[in-house]
Amino acid sequence: MKIIVLKFGGTSVGSLEKIVKVTKIIISYIKKKYKVIVVSSAMSGVTNELLSKTKKIAQNFPNDEKDVILSTGEQISCALIAGKLCDFGYKSRSWLGWQLPILTSGNHSSSRIVKIQKTKILNYLKKDGIPIIAGYQGINNDFRITTLERGGSDTSAILCAKFFDAEKCIIFTDVKGVYTTDPNLIKNAKKIEKISYEEMLEMASLGAKVMQPVSIQEARLNRIEIDVRSTFSKMSGTLITKKKDILSKNTIRGISFTKNDAKLTLIGVKDKPGIAALIFKPLYENSINVDMVVQNVSAGGRETDLTFTIKLEDLKKTRKLVENNRYIKFRKLIVNRNVSKVSIVGVGMVTTPGVTFRMFRALAKKKINIEVISTSEIKISVLINKKNLKKSVEILHQEFKLNNSL
Ligand code: ADP
Ligand code: ASP
Ligand code: MG
């Protein structure tokens, strides 16, 4: 069987008219003699609306019930797609995570797919049916409904491609592919023809929402090529593939950024072994992700300042945990909610000297202050004031000649 997985994102199924458009795309692949498996996200905005209901009704809404609610958005879009395909004379039906089942492990709201039972779908495909599978969801060992991380229908699609041994996986979204940076922020961002799993993973993890990071990890692990393209244009998209299949002159492939970060600085922390661990333990226990960390050298060897960043949405909880942590002492806690992280990404950086210097020089020329720095082999991230975000991305886009890249 020549199987193809087509995934449609929130904007692509964002209205009834758009869903009709989506069904026509699906039919075009049926006409090319593919056995089509569709994975859909919820209509745009729906998951956020559901989430806000849980926040409004209770301060501590339980995570397992939250997943039951959040997973309902996909039920609507999948039924609408299947219903319209039937209306066009095709055999189609929706499948929710528990109906296959899609088995997951791990915590609620960040579960991982471990297995997809194939029998029902394979039988349905043999009878020329078009299954529409709800993305972003599954069930766990206790038969509770689970969701993956936000944006997780990308991961559902990649794992469908893996378990059903699909020939291709196409991610249909609202932009024409993966760009050098978010085309909705920087108008002269360029579409990238091919990008390696490594670079895409880094760009996604550092804020490029176009692909969910876990989906890229899974694709890399299982060597699944991904074609990212637009639902609203026939133009070719971006291929996410192995490094060795890519020829690129550019040292830097792209720039990612996050808008909603917060920076916390603990002034006058005791400088002795184990202190950092004591600060971060309760954050870890409450599933709060700490991103950048810097510790100053202490002048007298007794006290130091420790700075770290988190997501802005975790600030209230983090602040409470730090202030109520009776195992640590500090003189003052300074919080800054107006920070953004900008990162340049490229595998070429390992072998090219001077990238860090060029990045810092470009920002300095425009008087943009760098608050925190972190690096890995293929990325450099800097924390800056949020008001300078667009300017910084523009400057770096120019500095690394991404306007001309393909
Ligand atoms: P979907 O609903 O189809 O899953 P998302 O909203 O999750 O779509 O992701 C698409 C969005 O990702 C785009 O509208 C764009 O604003 C954003 N984006 C961020 N960085 C990039 C990038 N480097 N290339 C393309 N899009 C990007
Ligand atoms: N609907 C889910 C979300 O908004 C999953 C997805 O869009 O991929 O996060
Ligand atoms: Mg998405």
Judge contact between 117 and 103, C-beta under 8 A.
yes
Asked if the peptide bond before residue 101 counts as cis, ω within 30 degrees of 0, the response is yes
Say how far apart CA 217 and CA 270 lie, in whole Å.
39
Distance 229 CA to ligand 3 centre (A): 12
Say how far apart CA 56 and CA 75 lie, in whole Å.
23
Residue 179 CA, closest ligand 1 atom number:
24
* Ligand 2 in reach of 10 Cβ (< 6 A): yes
Question: How many CA atoms are closer than 13 Å to the CA of 128, on its beta-carbon side?
Answer: 9
Say how far apart CA 384 and CA 381 lie, in whole Å.
10
Q: What is the mean pLDDT of the chain?
A: 95
- Tokens 């060597």 belong to 223
Task: Domains for the chain: give ranges and CATH numbers.
Answer: 3-174 (3.40.1160.10), 255-404 (3.30.2130.10)
- Tokens 């007794």 belong to 302
* Ligand 2 in reach of 153 Cβ (< 6 A): yes
pLDDT in tens, 335-347: 999 999 999 999 8
Say how far apart CA 170 and CA 25 lie, in whole Å.
11
Say how far apart CA 99 and CA 141 lie, in whole Å.
14
What does the pLDDT average to over 367-382?
94
Relative to beta strand 226-230, strand 168-173 is: parallel
- Residue of 136, 174, 233 with the most ligand 1 atoms within 8 Å of its CB, for mutation: 174
Q: 347-368: buried (b, 16+ CB within 10 Å) or exposed (e) per residue?
A: bebeeeeebeebbeebbeeeeb
Whole-number pLDDT of residue 406:
55
Q: Which residues contact 208 (CB under 8 A, 6 or more apart)?
A: 178, 181, 182, 254, 256
Q: DSSP per residue over 324-390, as a string? A: T-TT---SEEEEEEEEEEEEEE-GGGGG-TTHHHHHHHHHHHTTPPP-EEEEETTEEEEEEEGGGHH
pLDDT in tens, 22-69: 999 999 999 999 999 999 999 999 999 999 999 999 988 999 999 999
Whole-number pLDDT of residue 297:
73
Banded pLDDT at 261 (limits 50, 70, 90): very high
Whole-number pLDDT of residue 405:
59
How open is the CA angle 293-294-296, to the nearest 5 degrees?
160
Distance 147 CA to ligand 2 centre (A): 9
pLDDT in tens, 123-166: 999 999 999 999 999 999 999 999 999 999 999 999 999 999 99
Judge contact between 233 and 176, C-beta under 8 A.
yes
Residue 151 CA, closest ligand 2 atom number:
8
On the question of pLDDT at 248 being above 80, the answer is no
From the list 316, 311, 307, 324, the residue with the least C-alpha distance to 269 is 307
Our separate counts of H helices and E strands in the chain read 12, 18
Beta bridge partners of 258: 341
Distance 50 CA to ligand 2 centre (A): 11
On the question of pLDDT at 290 being above 60, the answer is yes
- Tokens 């579409």 belong to 191
Name which residue sits closest to atom 11 of ligand 1, judged by CA.
210
Q: 164: how many CB neighbours lie within 10 A of its CB?
A: 21
Residues with CB under 5 A from ligand 3 (ion): 9, 151
Terminal alpha carbon distance of the chain: 34
Judge contact between 379 and 207, C-beta under 8 A.
no
Whole-number pLDDT of residue 168:
93
pLDDT in tens, 200-227: 999 999 999 999 999 999 999 999 999 9
What does the pLDDT average to over 388-393?
97
Say how far apart CA 334 and CA 339 lie, in whole Å.
13
